[in-house]
Structure 1
Amino acid sequence: MIYNYARRYTGPIDTVVFDWAGTIVDFGSFAPTQVLVDAFAGFGIGITLAEARGPMGLAKWDHIHALGQVPAIAARWRAKYGRDMGRGDVDAVYEAFMPLQVAKVGQYSAPIPGALEAVAALRVRGIRIGSCSGYPRVVMNELIKIAAESGYTPDCVIATDDLKPGGRPGPWMALACMIETGSRDVAACVKVDDTVPGIEEGLAAGMWTVGLSASGNEAGLSWDEWTALSPEAQAARCRPAEDKLRRAGSHYVIRTVAELPAVIAEIEARLARGERP
């Protein structure tokens, strides 16, 4: 069999794979972070929102495990329990976290301003909408219902525990979206995310990637907090997030998904010139 390695996909984007919290819903990505703070508090361990945000994008068990390895949090755990946080402890925090997350996910899951309009603009162009998340399926089932009531119904939803290989930063959820939507080429797919593991996921899948610097985990502000800032303060708040997402390899960094349609047009122009992700 002879393979044509010179072949280049030069057609349009046919699939965009969105993250959920901080990307399409929950402007400041508070649903996962605040509930993690609450879950650790149930074990007598205080963690801050900033600490909870550190490993964002990972599957939630992995996220809790990563928090337990943070030196300051590990020290608090040892002071409380006289030992390091082990896998059984991670299991216990995760089991406490899950019902809290299911119960509270709706409190923080309003659509990000401009997100529904951006998705509608993509659909007009014939682009299919994939989605994946660090949330497990039991949380996603609740979030899917809430999002549908607001008008967001992606073509596929992949939860972090749907696939045996695992979640981010591996490529599996993004590639599963590609399969579900029937995309013709990884170069015809764009992964949009507010976290470094989410960008790494898209890159590992061979897709174009777009990072978000104002909405989501890196800036960590509510919509009201964001809009209360001056343009200069907004730029200063976004700058560390922009730098972090670019260092992770993101092809583009924009503030919110409201800006995405223009980026899609630019990517399609690059594809027409024979460029690849």
Structure 2
Amino acid sequence: MIKTVIFDWAGTTVDYGSLAPVIAFKKAFDRAGINVLDSEIRIDMGIAKWDHIGKILAMPRISEQWKEVYNRLPSEDDRENVYGLFQESLINHLKISTELKPGVLDAFQYLTAHHIRVATTTGYTLEMMNIVRDSAAKLGYLPELVVTSEDVAGQGRPSPAMIKTILSQFSINELQSVMKIGDTVVDIQEGKNAGVITVGIIEGSSLMGLSEAEYDRLTEDEKILKRREVRTTFENEGADLIINNMSELPDVIETLNASEEVTNG
């Protein structure tokens, strides 16, 4: 029986398309005089933001740009500077804009009604999460436990440390009673490393990388193609289950629970 669901945040339950961090990364690098592409940012989406900055700076194209602008390769001080710019930009954005993705509130209410506990992990810092959590709570979405990498000595995804903290605090021993839902490759890796059931969400995901308006403008054939591309990525990562959107979650849980009852019966 599913007793606990662990959600990601941006791209999963809030921020359709996980656009806020992409915008913040671009602004931070722009202010440093460096052009970074959306596709380059999304490669490592979901990991701790300090680690993410380091990954971007290590990309050959970005390193070459940095060398052209500053006549040297980026240093740790440069990483600190870009990280500071990123934090400033993202926090300013989060203060004015936090929206739940379609179906999230209904799914949360279903989980609450069925006494399924809700927790979250994230690539956001504690400061960022405090803003998002408070804004989401005003919209009716209030997970019982919010864990960041700062709660586990900086061990961000794909480390299972954040999930293990939740398992410990909830006194969970049966890993197959826990479901981790996310919109990135590292969400699935995090869940698999923790030994829990992993679920990839397609629409509004960072992997798809489209805003809600952009997705809605697609033809039905284009939507099918986009969903198929994201589904294939999740399948290649070994996701246990894949849903198109949050409205499908209750049925997925009901099916899992029913199959377990049959097996145990």
- Both proteins in one fold, TM over 0.5: yes
2:118 counterpart of 1:129: yes
Residues 274 and 179 of structure 1: CA distance in aligned 2, closer, same or farther (over 3 Å): farther
Once the 2 structures are TM-superposed, how far is the Cα of residue 271 of structure 1 from its aligned partner?
Answer: 3.8
TM-score by length of 1: 0.90
Q: Does 1:152 align with 2:144?
A: no
Output the CA distance in 1 between the equivalents of 2:207 and 2:86: 22
Cα separation, 1, equivalents of 2:109 and 2:18: 22
Q: Superposition pairs for residues 218-237 of structure 1, below 5 Å?
A: 218-237=207-226
Structure-to-structure mapping, 1:60-209, within 5 angstroms: 60-164=49-153, 166-209=155-198
Secondary structure of 2:181's aligned partner: strand
Distance 1:258 1:78 in 2: 48
Q: State the identity %.
A: 33
Quote how far apart the aligned CAs of 1:237 are.
1.2
Which deviates more from structure 2 when the two are superposed, residues 175-184 or residues 17-26? 175-184
Equivalent pair of 1:156/1:181 in contact (CA under 8 Å): no
How far apart are the structure 2 equivalents of 1:212 and 1:43? 34
Question: Whole-Å Cα distance in 1 between the matches of residues 205 and 95 of structure 2?
Answer: 16
- Separation in 1 of the partners of 2:74 and 2:256? 45
Farther-moved stretch of structure 1 (234-243 vs 132-141)? 234-243
The whole-number CA distance in structure 2 between the counterparts of 1:208 and 1:60 is: 25
- The alignment covers a number of residue pairs equal to 264
Q: Secondary structure at the match of 1:217?
A: coil
> What is the deviation of 1:190?
0.2
- Structure 2 distance, partners of 1:117, 1:106, is 24
Shift of 1:134: 0.1
Measure the CA separation in 2 of the matches of 1:115 and 1:17. Answer: 13
What's the secondary structure of 1:162's corresponding residue?
helix
* 1:30-49 alignment, distance < 5 Å: 30-49=19-38
Distance 1:203 1:75, change over 3 A: same
Q: What is the CA-CA distance between 1:270 and the residue it aligns to?
A: 4.3
How far has the Cα of 1:116 moved from its partner? 0.7
Match of 2:252 in 1: 263
- With over 3 angstroms needed to count, the CA separation of the structure-2 counterparts of 1:106 and 1:266, relative to structure 1, is farther
In structure 2, what is the Cα distance between the partners aligned to 1:107 and 1:199?
Answer: 30
Shift of residue 96, structure 1, vs aligned partner: 1.6
Q: Where do 5+ consecutive residues of structure 1 fail to align? A: 1-11
TM-score (norm 2): 0.94
Render the CA deviation track for 1:120-150: whole Å, top value 9, x for unaligned: 1111111000111000101001111111111
1 or 2, which has the higher helix percentage?
2
Q: Report the Cα distance in structure 1 between the residues aligned to 2:148 and 2:101, rounded to whole angstroms.
A: 20
2:243 matched residue in structure 1: 254
Kept after mapping to 2: 8 A contact 1:191/1:210: yes
Partners of 1:155 and 1:181 within 8 A in 2: no
The aligned counterpart of 1:212 is: 201
How far off is 1:106 after superposition?
Answer: 4.0
Q: CA RMSD in A?
A: 1.6
